[in-house]
Amino acid sequence: MKISFLIHNAYGIGGTISTTFNLAAALAERHSVEVVSVLRTRERPSLVLDHRVSLRGLVDLREEKEHPLHLRPARVYPESERRYDQYSELTDQRIAAFLDKGDADVVVGTRPGLNVHLALQGPERVVRVGQEHLTLDSHSPELRTVLRGAYRRLDALTTVTSADAASYARKMRLPGVRVEALPNSVPDPELPPADGTSKVVVAAGRLVRVKRYDLLVQAFAHVVAERPDWQLRIYGKGQEHARLREIITELGLVNNVFL
């Protein structure tokens, strides 16, 4: 069986890219797998992709950034999706051609806008699976309205958590669409589990509101109350840095929580 993953930009860095690469590598043990990147921004991907998984781009921005069709707004990709300004008539055409002429048995979309393309343009001969890496409630009302209409044409929809799968099934009313929770894929760890003797907790990622590092810091205050010799180290950068510093100071955690 051939499985194709349709992704925004496989040449960048991000959690969706990482988990897609991990899942593709696991499936490559039994199937033919490819990752199709709508946008291409460099020669090689930043993250390591298993050699058994093929990778190709649909629109190479190194050469086609000024393409006449890329200067026109997208018509299929939903305007209420936050990546809308990176899509165009050119991406509309290339995605449609990929879906129509591709030889995959299963196509997996990896973000709402691409799931809409898959739902509306994916041929019936293909099993169409939409992946959601954000919660339903994090989408704007306008986007939820678009998704409610389009997602009914999917064969399956996966969410990262069971709670969100239940939310989609309850709020979106998707008759005939199989909704399942599929946690982010991670490879087996190469290092042994921590034994707790270091007394250090590490978190890493973009310091943006959706990551809820503020909640992590607040929770760690309860740890420090009972274990004052423990530390939390947060690695990353983003617009929440100053706000997190204020929370750390207000909670008296300057000797325990470090950015």
| pLDDT one-digit tens code per residue, 156-179 | 999 999 999 999 999 998 999 999
At residue 202, the 3 state secondary structure works out as strand
Return the pLDDT at 204.
Answer: 93
In a domain, 151, yes or no: yes
Do the Cβ atoms of 172 and 158 come closer than 8 Å? no
Return the pLDDT at 233.
Answer: 98
In a domain, 188, yes or no: no
Give me the number of domains the chain comprises. 2
The whole model's pTM is what? Answer: 0.85
Of the candidates 127, 153, 181, which is a domain's last residue?
Answer: 181
Shared domain check, 32 and 74? yes
Angstrom distances, CA of residue 131 to CA of 7, 255, 257: 10, 41, 34
Cα–Cα dist 174/179, whole Å: 9
Shared domain check, 124 and 233? no
In a domain, 160, yes or no: yes
Return the pLDDT at 150.
Answer: 96
Cα–Cα dist 85/105, whole Å: 30
Q: Give pLDDT tens digits for 176-191.
A: 999 999 999 888 888 8
Return the pLDDT at 118.
Answer: 98
Return the pLDDT at 246.
Answer: 97
In a domain, 206, yes or no: yes
User: Mean pLDDT for each consecutive 10-residue tract of the chain (259 residues)?
Assistant: 98 93 97 98 95 98 96 97 97 97 96 98 96 93 96 97 94 93 89 87 92 96 96 95 97 97
Shared domain check, 82 and 24? yes
Shared domain check, 140 and 107? yes
Which domain range does residue 113 map to?
2-181
E strands, the chain, are 2-7, 32-40, 54-60, 106-109, 127-131, 156-159, 178-181, 200-204, 231-235, 257-258
At residue 223, the 3 state secondary structure works out as helix
In a domain, 191, yes or no: no
Return the pLDDT at 189.
Answer: 83
Return the pLDDT at 218.
Answer: 98
In a domain, 71, yes or no: yes
Return the pLDDT at 193.
Answer: 85
